[in-house]
Amino acid sequence: MAVAAGGIEQALAACRPRLAGVPEPFRVLDERGVLVGPETELEQDELKKLYRWMLFGRLLDDRGLALQRQGRVGVWGPMIGQEAAQAGLGLAMQNGDWIFPSYREAITLLMHGLSLTDLLAYYRGLYWVADPKATGVFPIQIAIGDQTLHAVGAGMGFSLQGKDQVAIAAVGDGATSEGDFLEALNFAGVYKAHTIVFVQNNQWAISVPRERQTRSETLAQKALAFGITGLVIDGNDALAVYAASKWAMDHARSGEGPVLIEALTYRVGAHTTADDPRRYQPPNEIEQWRSRDPLPRLRAYLERNNVWDADQEHAASAEILNDIDQAIEQAEAVPLPNYDRYVEAAR
């Protein structure tokens, strides 16, 4: 399934942001899972891994919502509908790469090696228990957009020290209005930081629609102002997200400069369990995007290529649910740390 690099280059060139107008987003599969872009370079086992993680995310979301309803985690930010963006990015990351995430990239973080038990400990309300540098996963950022500067700073650090690593800032569309986001793109450009800024544009920042964030026609356009590379991609096409992210990381890693990726997707669920989207999100819009569900899209492609079938789906689901339940059990078995231990660590 290999493809000449020129294929990707050419396809990505067409999805660069422009001063006016909206480019056709980079796509490998259409909404029915039919190949419309450059053939993927992924081998069968990697394709399975990609799909399995998306399935993992979907099932984890169900469990997370249930745990919140039962009072076993504080809040849960659903990922439903955004699995392709998260898994495609996760698959493109290499060992040693760092990610500075928001709260809607759980799949990416788990793919990069964060244990689900540690992630659930955070959601139970214990701060970040995993070692950020050892895992390459920095704590989930709650102050919107702040982490963009951290990823750019880390990417500057990698570049200055000649390290072969990339730092990723993962943010949502709301973050692109923050001053720190814009300062980060500017610094990234000036210093050619080894950084990818990955925006999951899910069209909603709690109740504020994308149109209210900016007059810019695309979020990727912001890259033009800072002289860096931007890409508009179909965030519900896992193969497109993987290919674009991989290309961007190679670009940044080799010192050719940072890349801003706008992955178009949709928040099918609520902002968090504390939110009531019925007050603002048009039901027909949700339905329209539900029909663009990233899971059946990739699955159709895999089935057509005899990489996946109903039996595997069934077996994988059972395994995943078992893994999730085990992680929940382990997370809940962690005793409440002593307050003094916290104070000691914090000082």
Choice between 244 and 259, CB closer to other proteins: 259
Tokens of 309: 């079938």
Choice between 189 and 294, CB closer to other proteins: 189
Per CB under 8 A, the list member of 146, 173, 237, 293 interacting with other proteins is 146
Rounded alpha-carbon distances, angstroms, from residue 312 to 12, 86, 237, 298: 33, 22, 21, 14
Choice between 238 and 259, CB closer to other proteins: 259
The reply to whether 184 sits near other proteins by the rule CB under 8 A is yes
Name the active-site residue from 280, 290, 304, 314. Answer: 280
Per CB under 8 A, the list member of 34, 160, 206, 315 interacting with other proteins is 160
Is 280 one of the catalytic residues?
yes
| CA-closest candidate to residue 192, choices 157, 142, 146 | 157
DSSP state of 338: P
The reply to whether 335 sits near other proteins by the rule CB under 8 A is no
How would DSSP label each residue in 139-183? PPP-STTHHHHHHHHHHHHHHHTT----EEEEEETGGGGSHHHHH
Query: Would residue 37 be called left, alpha or beta, if left means φ above 0 and alpha means ψ between -120 and 50 degrees?
Result: beta
Q: What is d(CA 287, CA 279) in angstroms, rounded to the nearest whole number? A: 16
Tokens of 32: 């029915």
Is 16 one of the catalytic residues?
no
The answer to whether 219 touches 262, Cβ cutoff 8 Å, is yes
Choice between 284 and 338, CB closer to other proteins: 338
Q: Which of residues 115-144 bind other proteins (CB under 8 A)?
A: 127-129, 131-133, 138-139, 143
The answer to whether 214 touches 131, Cβ cutoff 8 Å, is no
The reply to whether 103 sits near other proteins by the rule CB under 8 A is no
Tokens of 68: 């919140």
User: Rounded to an integer, what is the distance from CA 167 to the centroid of its chain?
Assistant: 13
Per CB under 8 A, the list member of 6, 21, 71, 179 interacting with other proteins is 179
> How many residues bind other proteins, per CB under 8 A?
37
Cβ of residue 194: shortest distance to other proteins, in angstroms? 10
Q: Which stretch binds other proteins (CB under 8 A): 85-93, 206-214, 292-300, 337-345?
A: 337-345
| CA-closest candidate to residue 89, choices 118, 111, 104 | 111
Reported as type and span, the H/E element at residue 198 is strand 195-201
Name the active-site residue from 194, 251, 253, 271. Answer: 271
The reply to whether 151 sits near other proteins by the rule CB under 8 A is yes
Choice between 2 and 336, CB closer to other proteins: 336
Choice between 39 and 183, CB closer to other proteins: 183
The reply to whether 8 sits near other proteins by the rule CB under 8 A is no
Per CB under 8 A, the list member of 187, 198, 204, 308 interacting with other proteins is 187
Is 251 one of the catalytic residues?
no
Q: What is d(CA 115, CA 99) in angstroms, rounded to the nearest whole number? A: 15
Active-site residues, by number, are 267, 271, 280
Residues interacting with other proteins, by CB under 8 A?
Answer: 98, 100, 127-129, 131-133, 138-139, 143, 146, 149-158, 160-161, 163, 167, 179-180, 183-184, 186-187, 190, 342, 344-346
